[in-house]
Structure 1
Amino acid sequence: MGLISRESIDAVIEANDIVDVVSAYVRLDKKSSLNLFGLCPFHDEKTPSFSVSPGKQIFYCFGCQKGGNVIRFIQEIEHLAYPEAIRHLAVRAGISIEESRDPFWQERFEKQNLAYEALKEAARHFYSNLEGRDGGEARAYLKQRGISRSLYRKYGLGYSLPRGNGLYSWLKGKGIREEPALDAGLIRERESSGYYDFFRGRLMFPIMDTQGRVLAFGGRAMTEGGPKYINSPETLVYQKGKHLFGIPQAAKSGTREWFLVEGYMDVLALSRAGLDNAVAPLG
């Protein structure tokens, strides 16, 4: 991560027509010779006050006063920081960007990427547990709660084994070292020596961002005793107050109105009823 050159920013703006980008999120109609209008995606309204100017390549809402260029729109709609929005649009347009690499940010960026890789592998491991021979108890619990296989697959649920350090061993087998696993909040270091899995014997809910990257996990106990939920600690890639469970699924639901429910199981219950536009806070 570093400073993105002005030339790259200009190239990203040039390569992403604002009408095309906004139209992926908002239905736009031409109501004047200059601008397109639609319902604002940033606040509730019944009369369209959200405008897009093809000529000026900007958007503006007369209701909530949000406006700016295509980068600002992606920042708002995808909840991204400025550099992340630029990278998002660069990927969309299939172009590369130039960044000057400050040593501090370069190291942090590399650590974040390694943490993302560890979290992705952890999600695969937990899902493999749920589908495997050791996941019978977890599958029975889900069936009892009315959660079908297709539904738990949609949300990427998994299972952490109650004994041993299966995740730690899995990550080592995938070539992931201890430091990224620690940075991702997946393992803990023993006081004496060695490491152990942070999650054990729990139904696992992956927390993802709008790009579908796994950021953290929520672990639900299936029996009485002990805390009902254990959530990942805050890490290089996860800050509790900035994320919601169910974001990728809600983003694909085709509606800009989402239900904010109490917990993970409530999100699944609404999805089972045909409503994928539900999200839940994290613990």
Structure 2
Amino acid sequence: MTRFTAWRRRSWAGYAVMLAALVAIGVIYAGLSPATDTAEATGTQAQAQDLAKGRELFNQNCASCHGLNAEGTKDEKGNQLSPSLIGVGAASVDFQVSTGRMPAMTYGAQVPQKKVVAPFDDPENIEAVAAYVQSLGGGPGVPEVPEGGDIALGGKLWRTNCAQCHNFTGQGGALTGGKYAPDLQDTTPVQIYEAMLTGPQAMPVFNDTTLTPHDKASIIKFIETVRAEPNPGGNGLGRIGPVSEGLVVWLVGIGLLVFCAMWITAKKPKKLKKS
């Protein structure tokens, strides 16, 4: 009988083998897992730093209107001045800030689009504030516009759901109460998607049940195609067709004829000399 066989037959040999196997597994796991754990820890730390940065930016630029906890503000009579941002989501914040509507300078029937001001001229700051508001109560995140899109379907959906406010070619138009549908000529695909997803100001919400992501992508494709088309006549005149063209003909053409007629008839003929 060899020494190894004698050792293996001892009562504690099985426990020793199990302990050695556990130690070996632990060593192998410790050798492979630090990179993953470190990456997760780094990601969590970076996320915490982004939220802290977003909170700081929110307190400096947004809290004066929306409250320190994003609960909104009211006047002395209890009328809502600025809405609560809890649950609006990152998509709403990204749309409002990236289009310059927020921070708002004045109250009014509608906040106009304007040039993005510091510190939100840096997209990273917009992303940080959006992530902070998202952390307060969820809501729609910043979307990714799906690839593709059917122009014909987009045109049909546009004429059915959007043209009555935004014009047939996205030029915008007047609404009631001093509000208006904005011009879409300078908006990005993500901003258009966010507007449909969140329904800013007077616009209704078109969630993914009402308009699927493919439907939204088709509408965006239609808008991009239409606004890229040239104006053969030089001036698009709002690109609403014979309505604006007929108005120009009336004001310029017929107005000029009326002026000429009045000028001709205003000349008095000289009296004929008596013979």
Normalised by the length of structure 2, the TM-score is 0.25
Greater strand percent: which structure?
1
> Of the two, which has the highest radius of gyration?
2
Normalised by the length of structure 1, the TM-score is 0.25
